Amino acid sequence: MSGTPEHEALVEADGRILTITINRPRQRNAMSLSAATAIADALTRLDDDPELSVAILTGSGGTFCAGMDLKRFQLGERPVVAGRGFGGLVEAPPAKPLIAAVEGWALGGGFEMVLACDLVVAGTGAKFGLPEVKRGLAARAGGIFRAPRVLPRAVALEMLLTGEPISARDAHVHGLINRVVDDGSAVDVARTLAMAIVSNAPLAVRASKALALAARTWTDDESFERQSTYTDPVFASADAIEGAAAFTERRAPRWQGA
């Protein structure tokens, strides 16, 4: 496991899964520039390394991330990485899948980092909130426009305008979370999801994520017209032939990622 000199974010590769842990438990994992830089570097590694397929983002000490470190903010520090945004993530999520494993609080920028992930696993005691208006700020790390995409408009606006959090159970009911699990087991369940992704063809997974995100604002006609840019390389790949052969021969496929 490796991290910044201060170890404010830890990065560990295990097989094809990269786990990134925000490691500032005394500050409830409030985001610092050092941690954000380490996260950005880890996501670049994820996309550049053909041996990696998926990443898990979590926090240490029973908290995901309490948002921006306001003490450092007062001193002029901004936990923003050029090209990646807050937390080294929100403006440029990785091309490969990213799973948030949430224990405890995911507030402000911490919740905005969750919103930038593809899948979410949360402990029953997790809470999600955008309290920026209580601090004279606004959720400009993606929360203002991403929350209404994944939550009902009324729920998202209540969070944005009151600053009050919602529970993991409510977030799950509204479709934000994939799994609500026993407290302390979010990373383990996220790893189970990650293993399910790892078993699939890397090129197909990456193309599926890219098209799903790109098509959010397209009509059905536009989607059918434009999808070939994403899907033609998948159908023409060696992995497509291998997938069919493995199915026919009743064996596990041997993906090449091409």
What's the distance, Cα to Cα, between the start and end of the chain in Å? 29
Distance CA 135, CA 20 (A): 28
Catalytic residue of the set 132, 158, 222, 225 = 132
Q: Is 112 one of the annotated active-site residues of the chain?
A: yes
Distance CA 236, CA 258 (A): 9
Are the beta carbons of 10 and 45 closer than 8 angstroms?
Answer: no
Distance CA 118, CA 87 (A): 16
Catalytic residue of the set 91, 112, 222, 249 = 112
Element (H, E) at 99: strand 98-102
Distance CA 10, CA 231 (A): 35
Per residue, what are the HEC states of 103-165? CCEEECHHHHHHHCCCEEEEECCCEEECHHHHHCCCCCCCHHHHHHHHCCHHHHHHHHHHCCC
Count CB neighbours of 186 within 10 A: 29
Local structure of 28: helix, strand or coil: coil
Q: Supply the DSSP symbol for 96.
A: S
Q: Is 12 one of the annotated active-site residues of the chain?
A: no
The residue among 149, 20, 2 whose CA lies nearest residue 89 is 20
13 - beta bridge partners? Answer: 18
Q: Which residues are catalytic?
A: 112, 132
